[in-house]
Structure 1
Amino acid sequence: MKKLILSAAIILGSVSTYAITVPTTVGVVQTTTIQEEYIEVKLEEVPAAIMEALKGAYPNAILDKAYVNAAKEYKLEVTIDGKKGNLFADESGKWIQK
């Protein structure tokens, strides 16, 4: 009787381990990055409206480099209190979120 119960437990245990199959799928994610082309300009060529907006919003900012793209949007590399960062503005001095 003990052998019969033990045999049944082994058979049921082995059958249940093969009952579950996990499907494997591989998903492909494609990412496209569009990089805007900026051309470096001299600091003297940056419009006065941008310089005024920079001094108004960030009085301690030091303008390191400036770049412009075809849409007349400016990328400004600035240093504020020892931290470097980028700011974006249009030619009228309005800030752009990028």
Structure 2
Amino acid sequence: MKMLILTAAIVLGWTAIYSNRHAKTESDIQPEYREVNVNAVPATIKAALETAYSGTKLVKAYVNEKKEYKLELSVNNQKATVYTDANGNW
């Protein structure tokens, strides 16, 4: 019985160590965005934004290497973040 408990503890310990070594960091999961001027956002995205979220104000815009946009919006003094591609697909 002692041997069974000891074996289980060793297996669980190795599992914990192995899973931590191969855990993805936030930078691995989310692509790096760089800030761009709000005026540099394509017209297709602005049109899609107006259609989907009328009355919002585009506060900040970010883009990554894949031309995916992260947009920070202001709606009635509340902030929101949305993600879209260059064609305005959410």
Aligned to 1:37: 32
Give me the TM-score of the superposition, normalised by structure 2. Answer: 0.72
1:93 aligns with 2:88: yes
Higher RCO by CA contacts (8 Å cutoff, separation 6 or greater)? 2
Shift of 1:49: 0.5
Cα distance in 2, alignment partners of residues 32 and 60 from structure 1: 38
Which of 46, 55, 65 pairs up with 2:50? Answer: 55
Shift of 1:85: 2.0
Flag the structure with higher helix content. Answer: 2
Gaps of 5+ in 1: 1-19
Question: What is the number of residues matched between the two proteins?
Answer: 76
Give the letter for the 1:38 counterpart. Y
Identity %: 39
Cα distance in 2, alignment partners of residues 79 and 43 from structure 1: 13
Cα distance in 2, alignment partners of residues 80 and 60 from structure 1: 7
SS of 2:48's equivalent? helix
SS of 1:32's equivalent? coil
Runs of 4+ in 1 over 3 A off after TM superposition: none
SS of 2:79's equivalent? strand
Alignment map for 1:60-71 (pairs within 5 Å):
60-71=55-66
Cα distance in 1, alignment partners of residues 43 and 83 from structure 2: 15
